[in-house]
Amino acid sequence: MGSEIHNTGPLRGRSLGLLGAGNMAEALARGVINSGVIPSSRILVSDVSAERRALFSDGLGIAATDDSAKVVASSDLVVICVKPQQVGGVLQQVASAVEPERHIIASICAGVTTARLEQALPPATRVVRVMPNTPMLVALGASCLCGGKHARAEDLAAVEALFACASLTLRVEEKLMDAVTGLSGSGPAYLFYLVEAMVAAGVAEGFTREQATLLATRTVLGAARMLEETGLPPEELRRRVTSPNGTTQAAVERLEADQVKASLTAAVRRAAERSRELGK
């Protein structure tokens, strides 16, 4: 596959390093390989887990190692894909291998600011912060990004092109990145939580779990598609399916009485707050 790739975009000639082989790294790697912007032969991943390394090497054809510094030395575009609590240790391991004029260092670690990354790396290191979400696994992710003080326009373009392989991308100011974490970063979990409740209600009404799951899943998928394709605000689409004194109105009135909207708003804000806490 690698020999057939003719990339002329901002990722042309790039080699990609992934520090961490978790679900988000896997989603990103699959998107990159499927889109053909970087061949698997030019990707290297590191992880402490032999099982995760095997998934990349055997399942994706990507070389894997337990040596993070080796990944940085072998790559010019590096993405840190570890938990926020692990980022300090990873930065210590790789700092001596980072060359500011050669490397772009991107991070998907929730709450970890570009300033914190820059402080732990050599002076003038070009850093880009990204917050993607797990639907990247099915090439329907949403990713927001911002650059550190040394990041160049071409650095942002390269990272944007990388994540665009599996997600919508949006550039934002860094002050919004914790809010991104609360809204879209953690957002899929809110919908999964909603579907759990819909399935449980369906089962209580007599459906099998399989039937209820199929109906709830397609309902969420169809509603999301309507939002995207019509461009109409959710309030308007909700109005259109809410007949006066009908079943939907009865359901919405119950949701309002239970302050579900207020609870969801509070949940998003709590996730954003937790992102700020993790970055400290």
Residues 25 and 162 in one domain: yes
- Which of 144, 175, 206 marks a domain boundary? 175
Residue 182 in any domain: the answer is no
Q: Are 276 and 189 in contact (CB under 8 A)?
A: no
- Which of 175, 195, 217 marks a domain boundary? 175
* Pair of tokens at residue 144: 């927001």
CA–CA dist 15, 136 (Å, integer)? 21
Count of domains forming the chain: 2
Residue 146 in any domain: the answer is yes
Residues 252 and 216 in one domain: yes
Q: What confidence score (pLDDT) does residue 5 get?
A: 45
Residues 160 and 78 in one domain: yes
Residues 166 and 198 in one domain: no
Burial class (CB in 10 A: 0-12, 13-18, 19+), 96: exposed
Per-residue exposure over 192-230, b if at least 16 CB sit within 10 Å of its own CB, e if not: eeebeebbeebeeeebeeeebbeebeeeeeeeeeeeeee
**Whether the model pTM is above 0.75:** yes
Q: What confidence score (pLDDT) does residue 1 get?
A: 34
Per-residue pLDDT 10s for the chain (280 aa) are 333 444 558 998 999 999 999 999 999 999 999 999 999 999 999 999 999 999 999 999 999 999 999 999 999 999 999 999 999 999 999 999 999 999 999 999 999 999 999 999 999 999 999 999 999 999 999 999 999 999 999 999 999 999 999 999 999 999 999 999 999 999 999 999 999 999 999 999 999 999 999 999 999 999 999 999 999 999 999 999 999 999 999 999 999 999 999 999 999 999 999 998 887 7
Q: What's the CATH number where 229 sits?
A: 1.10.3730.10
CA 13 to chain CA mean position, Å:
24
Residue 201 in any domain: the answer is yes
Residue 136 in any domain: the answer is yes
Residues 215 and 170 in one domain: no
Residues 140 and 194 in one domain: no
Residue 203 in any domain: the answer is yes
Q: Minimal CA–CA distance to 139: which of 27, 39, 60, 11? A: 27
Residues 52 and 171 in one domain: yes
Residues 153 and 203 in one domain: no
Q: What confidence score (pLDDT) does residue 8 get?
A: 53
Q: What confidence score (pLDDT) does residue 7 get?
A: 56
Residues 211 and 161 in one domain: no
Range of the domain at 206: 187-278
Q: What confidence score (pLDDT) does residue 6 get?
A: 46
